[in-house]
Amino acid sequence: VTSLSKAPRHAGGVVVITGPEGIVEEDAFVCQHCSRMITRPGGVSMDEVSGGCGVCGKIICLPCVNVGTCTPFEKRLERMEARGRFLRSAGLGG
């Protein structure tokens, strides 16, 4: 059974969920801010489960839309690394 197959229209895939009503296919994609998996059941519009970031233009989840700022996951990691480097160079960190 293939649980993930690439869909060409966005950087996500399709998840196949086996439930009481049989096999259901849902669009699946990853929030580009918090890297949370978002699924879109058939018949539900993209706007109901996700939004677009006005800064980076990526597809993000509704909680990230509500935050209202562009804080991509990778940027957060970069900042943490930069902070670690700064503390080390200042002789303060591990």
Residue 56 interacts with Zn ion (CB under 5 A)? yes
Place of tokens 């539900």: 44
In the numeric block, which tokens belong to residue 92?
A: 């303060």
Among 31, 40, 50, 59, binds Zn ion (CB under 5 A): 31
Between 28 and 31, CB nearer to Zn ion? 31
Q: Which two tokens stand for residue 49?
A: 């489960």
Beta strands 50-52 and 59-61 are antiparallel
Of 11-19, 27-35, 77-85, 86-94, the segment contacting Zn ion by CB under 5 A is 27-35
- For Zn ion, which is the closer residue by CB, 24 or 67? 67
